[in-house]
Copies of this chain bind each other. A is one copy, B any other.
Amino acid sequence: MTVTTPKGFRASGVAAGLKASGNPDVALVVNDGPDYTAAAVFTGNRVKAAPVLWSQQVLKGGVIRAVVLNSGGANACTGTQGFRDTHSTAEHTAAVLRSGPKPMMVGPGDVAVCSTGLIGELLPMDKLLPGVTAAAKALTADGGSRAAEAIMTTDTVAKNAVAQRAGWSVGGIAKGAGMLAPALATMLVVITTDASADNETLDAALRAATRVTFDRIDADGCMSTNDTVILLASGASNAQPTLAELTAAVTEVCHDLAQQLIGDAEGATKHIAIEVAGAASEADAVQVGRVVANNNLVKTALFGNDPNWGRILAAVGTTSAAFEPDRVDVAINGVWVCKGGAAAEDRSKVDLSGRDVQITINLREGEMSATIWTTDLSHAYVHENSAYSS
């Protein structure tokens, strides 16, 4: 059900004291092979955390043997000292994995690093490095869910997923409850598979999967400095799925994790799917969906159970998508409250009492469509993001 479901992986999660709560905050996922191929996508933010800059370099080497992750600090906007700290973390991880009970031939250049937490503060290395030592000792073949727990920040539940196939599987863990925005990898995600695939195949599968999953969720329009999705392949199953088969399985795991992320987004009371149909292009559909998902007036209306389709049309009007204002149709939970850009069915027919909301926007310009998933804007969101630094 997690990153250790596929064969060839071990994982762990331990408490190193980075979090004031004393909860687990250091995770380790290692690939025992026989393959060590990998792919990754990173945040589109130009302000990248030190671990992102490091892991981008590691990925170029073509081999990732281990991923070390910490919550309790993002190590972003921390200057040269921050980068040195990430480097030290990778070196220390490699050293303890080489000297452990099951010695691995691993150098710092084979270790990806992920961090999450407050931006702008140096990590307490005196706690992190002993934490990595403990995490290495705690590695087990069923430790994936403990790794998932150790990367939680404002998440209320740990996030695991798996796609089972005949003879092979794909597993994943994720963290992320805010700062979810399009055009990025999204938060921290580690995905594993015991299929055998080269780096190019993994990269193609991962990019195809994230494009229609993590890139189509948007909790608050805010793009993080640390977002990373890493896919590791061990080849331990000896299975060699086609690119299409691998892409389907990775997409299944990414979709599952993405829905868990939106389902647990900070302060959300609604799980909203915005389907844009009848678009002239997929890019138009995605653009319209994102703009509506990102509109505070739409989000507060849905929090208030108000089927305010006028705010949806006003948001659509700020895009460059092909559409005519007097042709657009909008349905909320199946009720076509707007037809041809004007009021249609009675808005009082719309039942918004449940958590799930389905908005359909038909641009009536073409045959393309896309769905963006988002949340409402609630008092709890304001509270979570104003009451303490995160």
Tell me, in angstroms, the Cα distance from A299 to B82 when the chains sit together.
27
Chain B hits for A379, CB < 8 A: 379, 382-383
Q: Is the CB of A297 within 8 A of B77?
A: no
Q: Is the CB of B386 within 8 A of A301?
A: yes
Chain B hits for A310, CB < 8 A: 74, 76-77, 118-120, 225
Q: Is the CB of A342 within 8 A of B309?
A: no
Interface membership of A326, Cβ < 8 A: yes
Interface membership of A224, Cβ < 8 A: yes
Chain B hits for A306, CB < 8 A: 386, 388-389
Q: Is the CB of B382 within 8 A of A303?
A: yes
Chain A interface residue number, banded: 35 or more
Tell whether A341 pairs with B296 under 8 Å between CB atoms, given A120-B309, A304-B385: no
Interface membership of A367, Cβ < 8 A: no
Interface membership of A258, Cβ < 8 A: no
Q: Could you give, for residues 12-47 of chain A, a 1 whenever the CB lies within 8 Å of some chain B CB and a 0 otherwise?
A: 000000000000000000000000000000001111
Q: Is the CB of B45 within 8 A of A77?
A: no
Interface membership of A197, Cβ < 8 A: no
Q: Is the CB of B341 within 8 A of A297?
A: no
Tell me, in angstroms, the Cα distance from A389 to B295 when the chains sit together.
15
Chain B hits for A326, CB < 8 A: 79
Chain B hits for A301, CB < 8 A: 385-386, 389
Copies in the complex: 2
Chain B hits for A318, CB < 8 A: 44-46, 223
Tell whether A223 pairs with B314 under 8 Å between CB atoms, given A79-B342, A300-B381, A382-B382: yes
Q: Is the CB of B386 within 8 A of A325?
A: no
Interface membership of A317, Cβ < 8 A: yes
Q: Is the CB of A311 within 8 A of B119?
A: yes
Q: For residues 185 through 221 of chain A, which have their beta carbon under 8 Å from a beta carbon of chain B?
A: 220-221
Q: Is the CB of B387 within 8 A of A304?
A: yes
Chain B hits for A233, CB < 8 A: none
Chain B hits for A340, CB < 8 A: 79
Tell whether A316 pairs with B119 under 8 Å between CB atoms, given A296-B221, A382-B303: no
Interface membership of A121, Cβ < 8 A: yes
Output the nearest chain B residue to A307 by Cβ-Cβ distance: B389
Chain B hits for A377, CB < 8 A: 296, 382, 386
Interface membership of A283, Cβ < 8 A: no
Q: Could you give, for residues 224-267 of chain A, a 1 whenever the CB lies within 8 Å of some chain B CB and a 0 otherwise?
A: 11000000000000000000000000000000000000000000
Smallest beta-carbon distance A40→chain B, Å: 19
Name A343's contact: one of B77, B294, B309, B317 (CB within 8 Å): B77
Write the residues of chain A forming the contact surface with B, with a CB cutoff of 8 angstroms. Answer: 44-48, 74, 76-79, 81-82, 118-122, 178-179, 220-225, 294-297, 300-301, 303-304, 306, 308-311, 313-319, 323, 325-326, 338, 340-343, 377-379, 381-383, 385-389
| New A-B pairs, 4, CB < 8 Å, besides A74-B310, A119-B308, A306-B389 | A223-B314, A296-B296, A301-B389, A377-B386
Minimum-distance CB pairs A-B, first 8: A119-B310, A304-B386, A47-B317, A79-B342, A300-B385, A120-B310, A45-B317, A46-B317
